[in-house]
Chains A and B, each alone.
Chain A
């Protein structure tokens, strides 16, 4: 049922979003925690505080993606750009998510869902600069 608008990509996006949403609901309902990846990942840099649930979440994240690609017989999607650009992009993402205390998951999904004004603003800002940057880069290529 691949029509012009309602294609496989959109069905997968809806299914994936549903699983991400379910994950965030479980974290809040049972543990009272925001499923925000940048914050969870950053806590791993503080081993003295024993970030056990954070470690479990990240292990699950890696395992879940691995199982998906393994059982659907697909390769992991390939990166597009050089390792030099990976340093630049990764570093800026790290600085930005730390300064604004969240990323696509913490602000974009969880924050918007509890109508946090900070998250709504952050999401509008990172979507705008993301679109600006990617559009600009597509001209350079």
Chain B
């Protein structure tokens, strides 16, 4: 691991954090209103994913034409193709948790410096769920 790669990660993380904060994804009120099209629907968050993909999809197309990234020897990308039960159940559970509290992993972690006890509890519970899953699936 080169220092340059760690600096890239730090800068990327910052851009991601600013992006999340600006986008509204860190506000559970906006998120739960987005996930409730039957109520007073706030559709603005659809534009977050659309806007992000409009940057990443064309860029990835050109990046993957190269045989390696600029600072490393290979791309670390999963080439799994199978749609299995784990993927479906996992995706379904993640959506349920997101719908319950209005926070997905990025926004929850980016909220830590707000020092709201519920956020800290959410992030610890999330790590607990991850570790429990890792332990049981081994």
Q: Main SS of chain B's interface residues?
A: helix
A100-139 residues at the B interface, CB under 8 angstroms: 100-101, 103-105, 107-110, 112-114, 116-118, 121-123, 125-138
In angstroms, Cα B27 to Cα A97, docked, is 20
Residues of A within 8 A of B37 (CB): 131, 135
In angstroms, Cα B6 to Cα A125, docked, is 33
Q: A28-B63, A32-B75, A64-B14 given as contacts; is B98 within 8 A of A85 (CB)?
A: no
Q: Are B122 and A101 in contact (CB under 8 A)?
A: no
Q: A87-B121, A93-B129 given as contacts; is B80 within 8 A of A16 (CB)?
A: no
Q: Are A109 and B49 in contact (CB under 8 A)?
A: yes
In angstroms, Cα B104 to Cα A107, docked, is 12
Q: A25-B55, A61-B16, A77-B27 given as contacts; is B83 within 8 A of A96 (CB)?
A: no
CB B90 to nearest CB in A, in angstroms, measures 3
Q: Are B9 and A68 in contact (CB under 8 A)?
A: no
CB B63 to nearest CB in A, in angstroms, measures 5
Interface band, chain B: 35 or more
Q: Are B18 and A91 in contact (CB under 8 A)?
A: no
CB A13 to nearest CB in B, in angstroms, measures 4
Contact of A114 among B47, B77, B113 (CB under 8 A): B77
Residues of B within 8 A of A109 (CB): 49, 52-53, 56
CB B52 to nearest CB in A, in angstroms, measures 4
Q: Are B94 and A64 in contact (CB under 8 A)?
A: no
Q: Please, how many residues of chain A have a CB less than 8 angstroms from a CB on the other chain?
A: 106
Residues of A within 8 A of B63 (CB): 25, 28-29
Q: Are B126 and A16 in contact (CB under 8 A)?
A: no
In angstroms, Cα B76 to Cα A77, docked, is 34
Q: Are A16 and B19 in contact (CB under 8 A)?
A: yes
Q: Are B51 and A130 in contact (CB under 8 A)?
A: no
Known interface pairs A109-B53, A117-B83; 4 further A-B residue pairs with C-beta atoms within 8 A, sorted by A's residue number:
A9-B44, A20-B19, A29-B69, A61-B13
Q: Using CB atoms and an 8 Å cutoff, list the residues of chain A in contact with chain B.
A: 7, 9-10, 12-35, 37-38, 41-42, 45, 50, 52-54, 56-69, 75-83, 85-101, 103-105, 107-110, 112-114, 116-118, 121-123, 125-138
Q: Using CB atoms and an 8 Å cutoff, list the residues of chain B in contact with chain A.
A: 1, 4-32, 35-39, 42, 44-57, 59-60, 63-64, 68-72, 74-78, 80-83, 86-106, 108-114, 116-119, 121-134, 137
Q: Would you mind naming 6 contact pairs between A and B with Cβ atoms under 8 Å apart? A: A53-B5, A57-B10, A64-B13, A77-B28, A133-B35, A135-B37
